[in-house]
Amino acid sequence: MANIYNSQLRQLRNTSSTPNADEDKGVLDVFSQIYRKEGGLRAFYVGVLQDTGKSIADSFLFFLFYNYLRTRRLQKQGGKATTLLVAEELAVGALAGACSRFFTTPISNIVARKRTASLLSSRSGLPSSKEPSVRDIANSIIE
């Protein structure tokens, strides 16, 4: 986690890969810095509503596609078939996962951009109200 956070800081810093003296020295330091520099406890939950919505949609769509694809495959085998071969179950699951990801990846992009906007806002000292809304982010992606 600390390495990922340092990598993001280097990208935001847009300078050398050498961390500043005030950058993290471990996981606990990362938590401390997030709390102090990025808005307290609220900073740990940026994008949680969108991420929860994405998880719910992902699960719902996966099982919807899985049930549909599995039922279609069983119908092709004949009316009395109740099970698929292991390879067929795996293929149906993989295809269902790909179909659900097709629809939920845009939500993931919105969540990532919302978190990045929050990080940039906290670093620039702008109030939270200046952060873009989900609608603003979606419109930006569409444009």
Q: Is 125 helix (H, G, I), strand (E, B) or coil?
A: coil
Written as six digits, the tokens of 24 are 């993290």
CB neighbourhood size of 103 (10 A): 14
* Per-residue DSSP letter, 26: S
Residue 4 sits at φ, ψ, to 5 deg, of -65, -45
What is the Cα gyration radius of the chain?
21
> CB of 43 within 8 A of CB of 122?
yes
What band does 12 get if pLDDT is binned at 50, 70 and 90?
low
pLDDT in tens, 70-109: 999 999 888 777 888 999 999 999 999 999 999 999 888 8
What's the chain's average pLDDT?
80
pTM assigned to the model: 0.62
pLDDT in tens, 40-53: 888 888 778 888 98
Amino acid identity at 43? A
